[in-house]
Structure 1
Amino acid sequence: MIFSYGKSRIEIPDEYGYVYYATFIAGEWDFLRVNNNDVVLDAGAFIGDFTIKVARKAKEVVAVEPLPWAFKLLKRNVELNELKNVVLVNKALYFTDGLKVKIRDNGVGSRVDEKEGEIEVDTVTIDSLGKFSVVKMDIEGAESEVFKREEWLNYVRLLGIELHGEGNIVRIPRYLTSKGFSIKEMTKTDLIKNAIRNIVTHPLDFLKAETRTKTIMRTMSREYKVPALSNENLVRIVYGKRIVNARSTVI
């Protein structure tokens, strides 16, 4: 299915219609206020929903996605929107470059799994990709590996991370706080405000999507839960903003 949101168009497989809602309606990454001087890292870009949303605002977006079929759709969606400031990387983000790791194909939940993974991909570090002022990270648990190296964090102004596992949920926010970031999580009030603002901004696009997917109705009936607000399966999204007086490197 092709979904629209203002000038953006995105092809999304039928079973992943909720991806449109998470990014364009619920605004799970809306706390990342991107401007035209920002170089953005979309780590775990999947089919390109966040990449497409921010590319027209940013100086450049580097989109990293290891899953082959999702990467092909990511590339197709970037071309569909005629975006010239997006760099595509078909690798897995990790603590070192050039390793071979196995990915288990669970769609949007695909992750590194050396025991049951069926797809082999190369790894890449954030430092080798560049210096980023804004980072969105959804890499299904591999965030613990990425944080084994910290130089990349010196350049970051804003970041949003989907954390997986109790250890990551506890340790990474504490670590970010120690590095000069203020941390927050999305609340139900934030979700409602985001949804109202995003629906009012492009009501016809929302109505077309809802007619096809009925995602809002499913959410109200508790068939679908917004990941940013769900405490199930030890998954949580946190947002970090560098405190102005904190020690940092400016790009």
Structure 2
Amino acid sequence: MKEQINKWFKWREKKLRILIETLKYTKSNRIFYSIAAISDFFIDIFLSSITSIHVKSALGTIVDSYYRRLQNSSRKAVVRIPVFNYDMTFFVTDYEALEIVLPEFERPIAKYFDYISKKYGKGVFIDIGAHVGKYAIRMSRYGWDVVALEPHPVNYKLLCFNAKVNKCNIKALQLAAYSSRNVLRLYISNFSGRHSLVLRSNDYISVSTESIDGLLNSLGIQPYSIKFVKIDVEGATEEVLKGMLNLLRHAKPDIIIEIHPNEKKALEILKELGYKILPIYELGTLTNYYYCFQ
């Protein structure tokens, strides 16, 4: 089973790279984009026959089903698929994580990380919703001090493992950022990057939450040392911002933030604090990213 999954990941990575290159040429043309999406669907079916894995849909639910069986933190087994991203190596558990860590994914957003690194040189970067560490490791490689929060036990284990593999000194915490210290339900998605405190599903686990202001105080980190924050918390953005108002008012760090369509109030909080909001556009993105700065 593991050998089949490894083969499926390998072929899917090749397929994904082809699709991304196709989308570069189709740009915003809806007709060509639709053709590319339909082609992607049939390529997935074709790949399922090559690898002898029954893919129930174009999303590869067999891999996600296998991943769900690994979500119990008491189980040590994790399917680790190495993905090479320039000079970084990542281990992932499901195909969504594979897509996320590829250099083509969120390329416009990654450019802002390069820009921030040049803008400030070095500083403290807080990665809220670090997943398996794509951006935390990137900033650590730039010489930044990194604090990474990831509440899901499997994602957290891989975050720590990836930091070790890439020889990065990252302060990784198995916590969810929120407006206050608490223990809340983390609703489990079929996809490793979509677990959420607010978007409900049938499955959930209990996780510890902490406000960013409270966390910085307990860690002894001065707010003014923080130059950059990434927030990707699947619908809980407003609560996260409420828990870091002291940091936002006084230190004014630059922010990369993912906003769901129903989270516009989060942007209003930043505007009231004097932030300028710059949308980051990427073809095919279902949610919106913004670069927020002073």
Structure 2 length as normaliser, TM-score? 0.61
1:87 aligns with one of 165, 171, 181: 171
**1-structure distance, mates of 2:291, 2:82:** 29
1:3 aligns with one of 78, 83, 89: 83
RMSD of aligned residue pairs (Cα, Å): 2.2
Is 2:111 aligned against 1:30?
yes
Query: What is the Cα deviation at residue 157 of structure 1?
Result: 2.7
SS in 1 for 2:193: helix
Query: What is the Cα deviation at residue 92 of structure 1?
Result: 1.0
Counterpart mapping for 1:230-245 below 5 A: 230=286, 235-242=287-294
**1-structure distance, mates of 2:103, 2:276:** 23
**2-structure distance, mates of 1:18, 1:178:** 35
1:174 aligns with one of 268, 279, 283: 268
Partner of 1:155: 251
Letter matched to residue 144 of structure 2:
K
Say if 1:47 and 1:77, in contact at 8 Å, map to a contact too. Answer: yes
**2-structure distance, mates of 1:29, 1:82:** 20
Say if 1:39 and 1:58, in contact at 8 Å, map to a contact too. Answer: no
* Structure 1 residues 10 and 115: CA distance shift in structure 2, 3 A: closer
Counterpart mapping for 1:89-168 below 5 A: 89-97=173-181, 99-106=182-189, 107-113=192-198, 116-130=202-216, 131=223, 132-149=226-243, 150-153=245-248, 154-166=250-262, 168=263
Say if 1:135 and 1:156, in contact at 8 Å, map to a contact too. Answer: no
Q: Alpha-carbon deviations, 1:197-236, whole Å to 9, x = none? A: xxxxxxxxxxxxxxxxxxxxxxxxxxxx3x3xx3xxxx31
**2-structure distance, mates of 1:66, 1:163:** 19
**2-structure distance, mates of 1:105, 1:22:** 26
* Structure 1 residues 102 and 23: CA distance shift in structure 2, 3 A: farther
**1-structure distance, mates of 2:86, 2:122:** 22
Gaps of at least 5 residues in structure 1 are 192-224, 243-251
Say if 2:176 and 2:209, in contact at 8 Å, map to a contact too. Answer: yes
Letter matched to residue 19 of structure 1:
I
Q: Alpha-carbon deviations, 1:108-160, whole Å to 9, x = none? A: 11001578452111111111232322000000111111222411213233101
Gaps of at least 5 residues in structure 2 are 1-80, 217-222
**2-structure distance, mates of 1:72, 1:236:** 28
Larger Rg: 2
Letter matched to residue 151 of structure 1:
N
More helix by share: 2
**2-structure distance, mates of 1:23, 1:71:** 23
**1-structure distance, mates of 2:289, 2:104:** 13
Query: What is the Cα deviation at residue 3 of structure 1?
Result: 1.8
**2-structure distance, mates of 1:115, 1:5:** 32
Structure with bigger RCO (C-alpha 8 Å, 6+ apart): 1
Partner of 2:150: 65
SS in 2 for 1:111: coil
User: What's the % identity of the aligned pairs?
Assistant: 23
Query: What is the Cα deviation at residue 20 of structure 1?
Result: 1.9
